[in-house]
Each structure stands twice: as structure tokens, then as C-alpha cells.
Amino acid sequence: MTDRLTYTELAVLMKKGAGVTVDPRDMEQRPGSAFDEYGLDSLGLLGIVGVLENRHGRALPADADRCKTPQEFLDLVNNSLMTGA
């Protein structure tokens, strides 16, 4: 795993945490598509946030579980991981 969350890692987390199978290339080609188009609801996203917080040993921004698209989520998470905020 790199320091930055990728579409591939997000797809794995979506499968493990919410049982949603997504092709990471599809998300990368359509980064502005809503999570609900992929079958991921807010509870599933909250679970992904929890996994990432445990993995990195720190809290993500409070609004991480409110992101609507993969791109919005990746930008927020990666910015948080890079800045330590």
C-alpha cells in the first residue's frame, strides 16, 4: 500500500467492507459518478472510513463519510494523509 489511497485500493475496500464489486478502472474513468451508482451507501462509506482510520492510526476529517463521489473521497482522504490533518 502506498501513502495515497488509489482507486484500486478503494475498490478493494468497497468489496471487503460493503460487498460492492466495482472495477477500479471504471471509477477512475468516471470519478465524478456518485457512490450510489456503484451500490455504495453512506453506511458502507462509513465502514471504509473506519478501516482507513484504523489502518493509519488517526481520524479522517469529520465529513469523509459524506463524500458523494470517488474523486471527492480520494481527494479528501489523500489530502488528510499527506498533511496529517
What is d(CA 60, CA 56) in angstroms, rounded to the nearest whole number? 9
Q: Is the pLDDT of residue 3 over 80?
A: no
Please give the domain boundaries of the chain with CATH numbers for all domains. 7-83 (1.10.1200.10)
Percent of the chain beyond pLDDT 70? 95
pLDDT at 84 (0 to 100): 67
What is d(CA 16, CA 76) in angstroms, rounded to the nearest whole number? 21
55-84 confidence digits (pLDDT tens): 989 899 999 999 999 999 999 999 998 886
- Segment 21-50 shows an average pLDDT of 94
Q: Is the pLDDT of residue 1 over 60?
A: no
